[in-house]
Amino acid sequence: MRQKIVAGNWKMNKTMPEAQALSSEVMGMVSSEVTTNTKVVLCVPFPFLPVIKYLLGKSSVAVGAQNCSEHDWGAYTGEVSALMLKSMDIPYVILGHSERRQYFGEDGKLLVKKIDKALAAALTPIFCCGEPLEVREKGTHDTLVRQQVEEALFHLSAESLKKVVIAYEPVWAIGTGKTATSQQAQEMHAVIRKQLASKYGDTIAQEISILYGGSVNSKNAQELFSCPDVDGGLVGGASLKSREFVDIIKAMK
């Protein structure tokens, strides 16, 4: 049975007091309202990680980082390594988000290094892939997403791949209010799973959690999560509101 996961990506938002308040609200609501075995993860800005980790304590809500360096140590001002995250007992890290690709020039070759560093530090990478609008309109989105997955992940052994979570995020739906239809989401998740099966076999492919990201909200979450190959969500803006985020989590059956 694949792990069901709902992860909130706060991006560069909130002050420390706001982050503490939001985390406390989510933790309390999850504890009292969520009855499924869905894994909940809050991916928060770097400065908040130790405080939010401590605040969440032994609750069922986990914390994750939004990126890590391809280096272990060194003269890389402003960077944070996977080993640093491991030393704080941070279990998850988002890698390859479309904003990192777009604004910081991250490509498949760089993401191979980051994936390897995260796995070597016993972190669970949430690897993002997805197409921009112009690629979707050309009808070549399948090809691009398969290429992104192959470039970043196909060097891994089957055992290592099973430690990765994949998030499909159509770039044209991130922060735009536009959401892929449940049919579009299912089609692309199935494409990714079929590609994994072509390399690692169907048994391994069926063990990998694939999340949907792109303007997920409490109104569309249940329909998206009902798709057979959608195993949860990577939630952006909606994760900044505790009530909305927990309602999304509760949509997971």
Query: Active-site residue 79, yes or no?
Result: no
Q: Which of 99, 106, 131, 169 is catalytic?
A: 169
SS3 197: helix
Query: Active-site residue 189, yes or no?
Result: no
Interaxial angle between packed helices 242-250 and 16-33, expressed in degrees from 0 to 180 and rounded to the nearest 10: 30
Q: What does DSSP say about strands 92-95 and 124-129: parallel, antiparallel, or unpaired?
A: parallel
Please provide residue 104's backbone torsions phi and psi, each rounded to the nearest 5 degrees. Answer: -120, 10
Q: Which of 97, 99, 106, 141 is catalytic?
A: 97
What is the identity of the amino acid at 200?
Answer: Y
> Which neighbouring-strand residues pair with 61?
40
Using the structure block, give the residue that is written with the tokens 């992860």. Answer: 7
Instruction: Tell me how far apart the alpha carbons of residues 148 and 143 are, in angstroms, rounded to a whole number.
Output: 9
Q: Dihedral sign for Cα 151, 178, 45, 207, please.
A: negative
Instruction: Tell me how far apart the alpha carbons of residues 233 and 249 are, in angstroms, rounded to a whole number.
Output: 9
Q: Which residues are known catalytic residues?
A: 97, 169
